[in-house]
Amino acid sequence: MKLTEKRSLFPNERGLEADSYSINLNEDEQLISKTIHQLVEEKILPNMNQLEDHDYTLQKKRMKEVGQLGLMGAEVPEEYGGLEAGKRMSGIIAEKMGYAASFSVAFNIHSGVGTLPYVYFGNEAQKNQYLPKLASGEWIGAYALTEPNAGSDALASKTTAKWNDENQTWTINGEKQWITNAHIANVYVVFANTEQGITAFIVERTFKGVSIGPEEKKLGIKGSSTATLILEDVELDSAQVLGEVGKGHRIALNILNLARLKIAFSNIGMSKQALEFAIKYGKDRQQFGKNIVEFGLIQEKIANMATAIYKSECTAYYTASLLDRQLIDNGKENFISSLARYSMDCSINKVLASESLDMIVDEALQIHGGYGYMQEYEVERLYRDSRINRLFEGTSEINRLTIAKSFLKQYDEEKLNEEIRLEQSVYIRQGKILLNKMLKAVTLSGIEIKQMYQGVIADTVMDVYAMKTAEMNSDHSEVTKQMTQIILEENLQRILERTKRIIVALEGDDLEKSRYLDEIKDLLIPDFINIYEAKENIAKSLIRKGGYYV
């Protein structure tokens, strides 16, 4: 796709090979998955207590072992020691590492925001100096953007960098808060205010004036280092500027978009792990003379958990295929220029996967009953670890605003009407029609689109996006067909209710309001299946196989 073309805002197969967005893995991908599974089971999970006690030596050792397998540099070009494997493979690695508890947070930060700024914004000297070390795990990377007053407003930085003409050096002063990998990192990408604007700098741990505060006492992800990076009169020469002076916002925002997709994949891995814990426990636990997985309400939970995973999985694999296509069509040099057009897609994945994860882990703990509240069961740790995912790399609220604003900026009513005309699924077609009616009610109201309304638009865009990606993957098995049908029905019902509510909220004229609502009533709503029977079938299939296998 050329940068001047109008992109389709909702998933379609045009220009994509089916295996590029399929959730089914090919032989090479299965081999990588098995390698990571073995590594996590043998080297990481048995040492979680030590890692959670901040054994930095062990953590660095494990990171280096992961690097020796080539997993640290999945997206690093081959000439710098990486795999240059693309977003799909990077996502698969992140998903499988999602089983590695809080170690996966350290891994994802290093391989994502700790490494990709050099890949996309570094000059040749910087790439040669840092990427081989980062790809091998010899060095560990970190990303220093957040400050006490710069959280969701990520660019409200108080850290300063001042240029000294006489010495030809930059002097940085400030503090960066909640920096993942703070105590184990060798190098940090640091954002600071200059006279020209936000600028990114490469700061090594050994530079004079760099120090690290104490470990934060966190609710979860205790096995990853989180601390304050303190910068006191740190002097850097111009070679340590990453990208262009005053253009650091391009690095910050674009790299965060990629990080959101990577987190989504990791959350999918954690979700699958939680489901496996729940099924295993439910098959062992007996009440009233039966294994508790035989009870209908437990089966309904299992089916809902699996369907949520499937929804996130289909969406993440599709978005990764979109970005890989951009890399192929535009090359690494122009990829970042096109990435801003996919901020909506990355945010959809972040919200969908992180909020699904919280639901799934909560239900997994519920299936464990009182035992799930005890630390001897791993689901207790998962419950604590999952909560951060709705906060870092952009809160769910910030990502919803990104989705709405990005969609409205690129929205073309004529193009969406053409998509509606060509759409074969009656569920998705009706979902898009309702979205169009919702948008018309918002625009015709003539009022400022408040955040609450933007949230409604974002949720509806997410629902349609997920419906389409699920439908594109639905022919793999009977289970995926049934899960897709549930997604189509439940998402359409949510869209229908939202559309009614927003029309009632925005349309002041009673006659116009009635006309809008009558139009909705006249829509052809498809017949529904026996959703309870479908969920029972899904649950029984997963219980037989012991986890998420579709």
Catalytic positions, written as ranges: 393
- The phi, psi pair for 374, rounded to 5°, reads -95, 140
> For the range 502-508, what are the long-range contacts, defined as Cβ-Cβ under 8 Å and sequence gap of 24 or more?
502/438, 502/441, 502/442, 502/453, 502/456, 503/437, 503/438, 503/441, 505/453, 506/441, 506/442, 506/445, 506/447, 506/453, 507/441, 507/445, 508/445
Question: Exposure of 409 by Cβ count < 10 A (0-12 exposed, 13-18 middle, 19+ buried)?
Answer: exposed
SS3 sequence of 470-501: HHHCCCCCHHHHHHHHHHHHHHHHHHHHHHHH
Q: Which tokens is 170 given?
A: 């930059």
Token pair 């001897």 is found at: 376
Question: Pairing mode, if any, of strands 286-287 and 241-242?
Answer: unpaired
Contact 235, 272 (CB under 8 A): no
3-state secondary structure of 227: strand
Question: In whole angstroms, what separates CA 74 from the centre of its chain?
Answer: 17
Contact status, residue 65 vs residue 42, Cβ threshold 8 Å = no
Token pair belonging to 493: 């019902």
| Residue 368: C-alpha distances to residues 101, 292, 535 (Å) | 19, 10, 20
| Pairwise CA distance, residues 175 & 89, whole Å | 35
Separation between Cα atoms, residue 107 and residue 97, nearest integer Å: 8
Helices and strands per DSSP (H, E), number in the chain: 19, 10
The angle that helices 103-111 and 56-68 make with each other, rounded to 10 degrees, is 50
Q: How far apart are CA 304 and CA 535, in angstroms?
A: 8
DSSP for 80-117, please give it: GT----HHHHHHHHHHHHTTSTTHHHHHHHHHTTTTHH
| Phi and psi at residue 200, to the nearest 5° | -95, 135
The H-assigned helical ranges of 3-101 are 18-21, 27-39, 48-52, 56-68, 86-97
